[in-house]
Amino acid sequence: MFGMEKKTEGCNQENRADKVAAEAEACYRSGRMHCAEAVLAAVVRNYMPEAGEEIARLAAGFGGGSGAGCICGAVVGGTMAFGLVSGEDRNRVKRLTRELHRWFRAEYGETCCRVILKTHDKKCFELTGRVAGKVAELLES
């Protein structure tokens, strides 16, 4: 048992980010969650499991660009995760949020759900996983 703990102790952030990405994409593909819920749930499961699965319900209104096609729900889910995992460190949350937005714009050109759906052939499953992975990478920084 102790030997097994030692082996997982050395996991690097890339493996953790890959795990979070895969979990978020799987949650979305399952049809149980949309993008915002899936990102939040995967990050929470890996960084704050004590918060419980039901925490993802906080993101229920943010799928499909908050139901209005505005900001990408995956980005919102990631931002919510930063706030939850970072506790009261608002400066860290702001910094991580800015970094996520910069990365997302560089990757997808926009943070607007409506535009992304048109320009990226509705690949929200993959996008959700990539955002969750990036959130995990940023949390490790």
Check pLDDT > 80 for residue 27.
yes
pLDDT classification of 5: cutoffs 50, 70, 90: very low
Q: How far apart are CA 96 and CA 37, in angstroms?
A: 19
What pTM does this model have? 0.87
Least confident piece of the model among 3-7, 10-14, 33-37? 3-7
pLDDT tens per residue across span 73-118: 999 999 999 999 998 999 999 999 999 999 999 999 999 998 888 8
**DSSP collapsed to 3 states, 62-127:** HHHHHHHHCECHHHHHHHHHHHHHCCCCHHHHHHHHHHHHHHHHHHHCCCEHHHHHHHCCCCHHHH
pLDDT tens per residue across span 42-56: 999 999 999 998 999
Joined tokens for residue 6: 């030692």
pLDDT tens per residue across span 62-72: 988 887 878 99
